[in-house]
Chains A and B, each alone.
Chain A
Amino acid sequence: MSQTLSTRSLRWCLAGLALAAPWFSAPTLAQEPIKIGSFLSVTGPASFLGDPELKTLEMYIERVNAAGGVLGRKLQLVSYDDAGDAEKARTFATRLIEQDKVDVIVGGSTTGSTMAAVPLAEKAAIPFISLAGAVVIIEPVKKWVFKTPHTDRMACEKVFVDLQARKLSKLGLISGSGGFDKSMRAECLKVAPKYQIDIVADETYGAGDTDMSAQLTKIKNTAGVQAVLNPGFGQGPAIVTKNFKQLGITVPLYQSHGVASKEFIKLAGDAAEGVRLPASALLVAEALPESDAQKKVLVSYKQSYEGKFKSDVSTFGGHAYDGLMLAVEAMKKAGSTDKAKVRDALEATKGYMGTAGVVNMSANDHMGLDLTAFRMLEVKGGNWVLVK
């Protein structure tokens, strides 16, 4: 809190006060900050999620404070690194609730760490906005738990809608064995019938595999395959794409939002031409037409992030942005930090424009995104292009 005060002496005074505060139990200053609690996988195997998330939270909390804060109070971030360990996540969530007494939690980079903290938030009755993907977080609906990222299921649905538009119905699946891969594969299998999509092949490859020709050959030899979808994350999809081309398979290839980055095109090279995938609009922010209602927020976030951290923006940081802003909006609307009121305001969110899309929450939808959150992209000339 001392960061925002202008003079040095005042800063020291306040620091002294802060140190002394525990010794006086009663006096709570009127200007006590609003505490935003967060536990993120900043290090460890899921640091690609937690790192941009933390940076985003820090940057925007600073900005909100510079603009006068919320309800006349500053925001204070209390964040812990769970290193991708669900048990640590649970302990840190307990710490946020019990020890730091935060007003709201925006965090949980992975599904595992989120799910470990869900019972705590429910028990303690504290609004918890998760930044993780899986549907289980909000299905069934949990009173105090919300989430900002679109789900794997929506990615599947986006692909299926595109297939329908191209009058294709027989799909071959080839998926990896990581968490993302498995979860998306399962969701795709679940919703396929709803879109009259026939999964005619269902192949998998291992985490470290360097050649998927065998699986792809099987798919190629499956009668009637009209398209192939690769729910995958990491290096696998680039290899699949290369093998796909080498085997001379001509049906359309779909990748997932898991590889929606320049890196994928770099790895897959020429073979990537014509590959389609559903992705957050953030990836093509600048290419969106001016008429796109989402463009403003996307470009602003992208430029801020890339300007400050000199690294490519990621959708994950965008989820943290959305989570923080949803919390801020809800507190403004509730007119207080009363947890029940903030929760109600969150659930009543309508038309909020975030990096993931328009959010319309309800009592039975604690995510509030629809398929427009995803854009269908295609690789053309070594770049992502919007499919009209």
Chain B
Amino acid sequence: MSHYRSSRHHGLIALAAIIALLPLVLSNKYFYDVAILIGFNAIVCIGLNLLIGYAGQISLGHAGFFGLGAYASAILTGNYGWPPVIAALAGMAGVGSLAFLAGRPILKLKGHYLAMATLGLGIIISLVIVNQDRLTGGPDGITVGPFSVLGFALENERAWYWFIGGLLLLTVWLSQNLIDSPMGRALRALHSSEVGAQAAGINAAAHKLQIFVLSATFAAGAGSLAAHYSGFITPAKAGFIHSVELVTMVVLGGMASIYGAVVGAAVLTLLPQILTVLKDYEMVVLGAVMMATMIFLPRGLVPSLAALCERWRDLLPPSLVLRLEALIGRGRKP
């Protein structure tokens, strides 16, 4: 177990190193922009993976929470002049409360029914955003002012990059802490066997609700910041397609893997940028890549590759194995 904990630190260090060194190859604002988008998506996906991968509860409505966070920031800073940080926190609190209220009945459902219910919740949220056009600007979207923390405004891509990079590290750290705590074990336990978890005194319903709220709050926070970064937000960000994109990132990267969520977000943010040159074939190739991944690496990129490495490590010198393992972090099964 000390093994797991030390590899956890190694993972964080590796991620920090990547974030620190990446600017060496980010030669212009466009690359920064893509890196920042990866950061936002990764933060949402880590939160979503806590819910889907660790606690085993699906949500097809997370974009709704993301969108609500974004619009809360847009409206509270734009119409009411709130400071961005306060607006973002208020948005997170509001979304957390909504998730709490909606989650109580919804999370009693399982499997397809839960998927349908969260889907419905997301659709309702995006409809409200579209229809409350006096506040939200309706389908055309709404302009959002710049973000500032303690009077220090994030003006350019570089500033945003370091801010989001730091936030991503923080999110990874918090999530790893959670997973490796009594509460995290409770979540993983109820995913694996709800009856077994209850036999250990775990109130499954309360824990599902708690992680649902936490995960929705992560999404709302990322939404707030993404809105400020973009400077403009449309209801599409709260829509069903965005929800599916987020779930796809989680599944592709690897369920129940925090780095999987990061890798999934990175791959699915980067791929469209690379494949866009294929024009009409972009979607076909993207689909093929995802299908191939799920066929050959069925547990998602990170856990499947980690398992492969484990299988190969007998062939490698032990010292190298130790070092590699530390880098990857041990993949955990969904």
Contacts and interface: CB of A to CB of B under 8 A. Distances in A.
Interface of A: 43, 80-81, 84-88, 90-92, 94-95, 97-99, 110-112, 115-116, 118-119, 134, 136, 177-179, 182-183, 186
A379 to B, nearest CB: 28
A182 B231 contact: no
Contact of B140 (A97, A177, A179): A179
Nearest to B40: A87
The 4 nearest A-B residue pairs measured at CB:
A179-B139, A98-B30, A112-B234, A98-B28
B78 interface: no
A325 B126 CA distance: 38
26 contacts: A80-B276, A81-B279, A84-B236, A85-B236, A86-B141, A86-B232, A86-B236, A87-B237, A90-B33, A90-B231, A94-B33, A95-B30, A98-B31, A112-B140, A112-B232, A112-B236, A115-B141, A116-B232, A116-B234, A177-B130, A177-B131, A178-B139, A182-B138, A182-B139, A183-B138, A186-B133
A177 B136 CA distance: 14
B276 A116 contact: no
Given A95-B33, A178-B139, 19 more contacts: A80-B276, A81-B276, A81-B279, A87-B226, A87-B230, A90-B231, A91-B34, A98-B30, A110-B140, A111-B140, A111-B141, A112-B141, A112-B236, A116-B141, A136-B140, A177-B130, A179-B138, A179-B140, A186-B133
Nearest to B34: A91
Contacts of B131: 177
B270 to A, nearest CB: 11
Interface in B24-53: 28-31, 33-34, 37
B273 interface: yes
Nearest to B269: A91
Interface string B4-37: 0000000000000000000000001111011001
B234 A94 contact: no
A182 B130 CA distance: 10
Contacts of A97: 29-30
A91 B138 contact: no
Interface in B108-159: 130-131, 133, 138-141, 143
B283 interface: yes
B276 A115 contact: no
Contacts of A179: 138-140
A90 B283 contact: no
A94 B29 contact: yes
**Interface size class, chain B:** 20 to 34
A136 B236 CA distance: 19
Given A116-B232, A178-B139, A179-B138, A81 B273 contact: no
B233 interface: yes
A234 to B, nearest CB: 12
A116 B37 contact: no
Nearest to A84: B236
A208 to B, nearest CB: 11
B283 A43 contact: yes
Contact of A91 (B143, B273, B279): B273
A92 B232 CA distance: 14
B282 interface: yes
A177 B33 CA distance: 33
Contacts of A94: 29-30, 33
A118 B141 CA distance: 13
Interface in B282-313: 282-283
A81 B282 contact: yes
Contacts of A177: 130-131
Contacts of B226: 87
A4 to B, nearest CB: 20
B231 A119 contact: yes
A41 to B, nearest CB: 11
A87 B37 contact: yes
B155 to A, nearest CB: 10
Name the residue in A43, A91, A119 with the highest tally of chain B Cβ atoms < 10 Å from its Cβ. A91
Contact of A115 (B29, B130, B138, B143): B143
A354 B230 CA distance: 33
Given A81-B276, A84-B236, A99-B30, A91 B140 contact: no
A115 B282 contact: no
Given A86-B236, A87-B237, A182-B133, A134 B140 contact: yes
A248 to B, nearest CB: 31
Given A87-B237, A177-B131, A182-B139, A115 B30 contact: no
Contacts of B230: 86-87, 90, 116
Contacts of A119: 231-232
A205 B226 CA distance: 32
A381 B37 CA distance: 54
A98 B140 contact: no
Contacts of B29: 94, 97-98
Contacts of A99: 28, 30-31
Contacts of A81: 276, 279, 282
Nearest to B133: A182
Contacts of A87: 37, 226, 230, 236-237
